[in-house]
Amino acid sequence: MREDMAKTLATGIGADIMHIESYLGRNELFMGLGLQTIERIAKEFRKVAFKAGDSIIIEGSRGETYYLIATGEATVLKGAGVGQRELQRLGPGDGFGEMSLVADEPRSATVKAVSDVELLCLDREQFIVLMDQEERFAQRILRLLSQRLRQSNQVATLDLLRAHQGLIISLAELAESRDADTGAHLYRVRDHCTLLAKLMSADVRFKDDVDPDFIEAIYYVSPLHDIGKVSIPDAILLKQGKLTPAEFEVIKTHTLVGGHALDTVLQYCDLQMFRIARDLVMSHHERYDGNGYPSGIRGEEIPLAARIMGIADHYDALRSKRVYKEAFTAEEAIQNLREESGKRFDPAVVDVMLAHINLFEEIHDQYAEMEALPEKHAGFL
* Residue 28 shares a structural domain with residue 103: yes
pLDDT of 177: 63
Which of 80, 100, 133 is a domain's end point? Answer: 133
Q: How many alpha carbons fall within 13 Å on the CB side of residue 118?
A: 11
* Domain residue limits at 159: 153-368
Rounded to whole angstroms, how far apart are CA atoms 210 and 112? Answer: 22
What distance separates the 2 farthest-apart alpha carbons in the chain?
Answer: 85
* Together in a domain, 256 and 129: no
What three-state secondary structure class fits 49?
Answer: strand
What DSSP character marks residue 267? H
Q: Is residue 188 located within the same domain as residue 291?
A: yes
Residue 96: give its domain's CATH number.
2.60.120.10
In a domain, 374, yes or no: no
Q: Where are the beta strands (DSSP E) in 58-191?
A: 65-71, 74-78, 85-90, 95-96, 110-113, 117-123
Cis peptide before 347 (omega within 30 of 0): no
Using CA atoms, how far apart are residues 105 and 282, in angstroms rounded to an integer? 44
103 and 172 assigned to the same domain = no
pLDDT for the residue 158: 53
Residue 75 exposure: Cα atoms within 13 Å on the Cβ side: 12
In a domain, 191, yes or no: yes
Query: Residues 283, 344: one domain?
Result: yes
The SS3 of residue 136 is: helix
Burial of 104 (0-12, 13-18, 19+ CB in 10 A): exposed
- 138 within some domain: no
CATH number of domain containing 310? 1.10.3210.10
Domain match, 128 and 248 both: no
**Distance separating alpha carbons of residues 27 and 95, to the nearest angstrom:** 7
In a domain, 140, yes or no: no
Q: What is the pLDDT of residue 27?
A: 75
* pLDDT tens readout for residues 91-113: 888 888 887 777 677 888 899 99
pLDDT in tens, the chain (381 residues): 444 434 433 334 444 545 666 677 667 777 667 677 777 777 778 889 999 999 999 988 888 888 989 889 999 998 777 668 888 899 888 888 887 777 677 888 899 999 999 998 888 888 877 777 776 677 677 666 656 655 555 555 555 555 556 566 666 766 666 665 555 788 899 999 999 999 999 999 998 999 998 998 899 889 889 988 888 898 998 888 889 999 999 999 999 998 988 888 788 777 788 899 999 999 999 999 999 999 999 999 999 999 999 999 999 999 988 767 789 999 999 999 999 999 999 999 999 999 999 999 999 988 876 644 444 433 332
CA distances from 114 to 91, 94, 118, 181 (A): 10, 14, 12, 42
User: Do residues 7 and 49 lie in contact, with contact meaning Cβ atoms separated by under 8 Å?
Assistant: yes
Verify that 30 and 170 share a domain, yes or no. no
| Cβ 150 vs Cβ 337: under 8 Å | no
Q: Which one-letter DSSP state was computed for residue 325?
A: B
Q: Check residue 11 and give its pLDDT.
A: 38
The reply to whether 161 and 124 lie within a common domain is no
Run of H or E residues at 95: strand 95-96
Contact present, 255 and 193 (Cβ < 8 Å): no
Q: Are residues 188 and 111 in the same domain?
A: no
Residue type, 295: S
Q: What's CA 343's distance to the chain center, in Å?
A: 29
DSSP state of 329: P
Answer yes or no: do 306 and 199 share one domain. Answer: yes
Question: Number of structural domains, the chain?
Answer: 2
Name residue 356's amino acid.
Answer: H
- Tabulate helix, strand, coil % of the chain (nearest 5): 55, 15, 35
89 lies in the same domain as 49: yes
In a domain, 375, yes or no: no
Q: Tell me, yes or no, whether 377 lies in a domain.
A: no
Contacts with 2 (C-beta within 8 Å, 6 or more apart), sequence order: 55, 58, 61
Last residue of a domain, one of 72, 98, 133: 133
Task: State whether 157 and 223 are in the same domain.
Answer: yes
Query: What is the rounded radius of gyration, in angstroms, for the C-alpha atoms of the chain?
Result: 25
Residue 148 belongs to a domain: no
In a domain, 68, yes or no: yes
